[in-house]
Amino acid sequence: MARKLLHVASGRWLKSIPWRPPIRHFSWRIFMTLEQLITFIHLCKTKNFTKTAEMLHLTQPSVTSRIKNLEEELGVPLFERNGKILTTTSSGEELAFYAQKIVDLMHEAQVNIGKKVREVTIGATPTLSIHLVPTVIADLHHAFPDYRIAIKSGSSVQLMELLIQGKIDVGIVLHRLSHPEIEIFPIKESLSVILVVSPNHPLSSRPRIDIIALKDYQMVRYDPKGGFWELISNSLQQYQMTPDSYIQVDSIEVAKKVLQNTQSTAFMPLPNVQAELSQSLLKRIDVQDVTPIVYPIYMAYRREQHQTDLIQYLSAYFR
């Protein structure tokens, strides 16, 4: 069907144009946000506003506001509050089913679409980044040659936060921290720590020393943010040993240089000083009546990623 239009000024008929039906405009209103649904799911699990706020790194009023807005949009109560006891209503239980499906589909889309990009980010404490992660990267690159691999360094707490936020895929840490969304397990390797000094140090001529002798010398302290020194400090306190003076440095490489050029001492991870020991740049000192210091190492990942090829490979690799 075509229509001719009359030009008012000239009185001539203009060219015929085909008739098209009028366009109908629909108004769509998205009333549930992903943030609201994620908050709702967490609250269903914890049954506690404070714990939910801590898990999501929000303030408690923010959690309360999200749930309140969600209930207002749906027009039904999602929780029953009886004093400090919080329970889900029948509507809340029904929404929890659909909310979990929505969140799962979102993560599935991220994983499947992300496969095209093929990126993996590994987080590790500074100490572990030096001696453990390079070997992991080499083996991972061989198993997944198409992956682009990135490394992030931080403390165990910082890495757990990055895991929860989805900013890293795997965390290699020295502290076993718990979180409902995170799977964490000890790997087959552990971190052995030894006492080292310069070959010119007064203690280097002794085959074995008493731990009290360390009080006479400055101790090099490094990786305070990564958590390694916290572990060393806790171990020393078991023997009522607290060094009177420290030399604070930012990295293990600087720590080794300081040790070689001063009469200081340091507890260092064995893998990080093996080269210096073999070249006689540093010397190992045994401490009498002190149990060998060995710390477990943990791998952490988000539970929702358990079935991915990457996590399956790394879990088998480390166990």
Q: What is the pLDDT of residues 258-286, one digit of tens each?
A: 999 999 999 998 888 989 999 999 999 99
Q: What is the 3-state secondary structure (H, E, C) of 93-144?
A: HHHHHHHHHHHHHHHHHHHHHHHHHCEEEEEECHHHHHHCHHHHHHHHHHHC
Q: Which range has the worst mean pLDDT, 94-103, 156-165, 224-233?
A: 224-233
The 10s digit of each residue's pLDDT in 35-79 is 888 889 989 988 989 888 887 777 888 889 999 989 988 889 999
Ordered by where they begin, the domains of the chain are 34-113 (1.10.10.10), 117-189+296-318 (3.40.190.10), 191-293 (3.40.190.290)
Q: What is the largest CA-CA distance in the chain?
A: 115
Coil, helix or strand for 297? strand
Residue with tokens 């909310």: 99
H or E segment at 68?
A: helix 60-74
Full-model pTM:
0.60
Q: What's the CA gap between 212 and 254, in Å, rounded?
A: 26
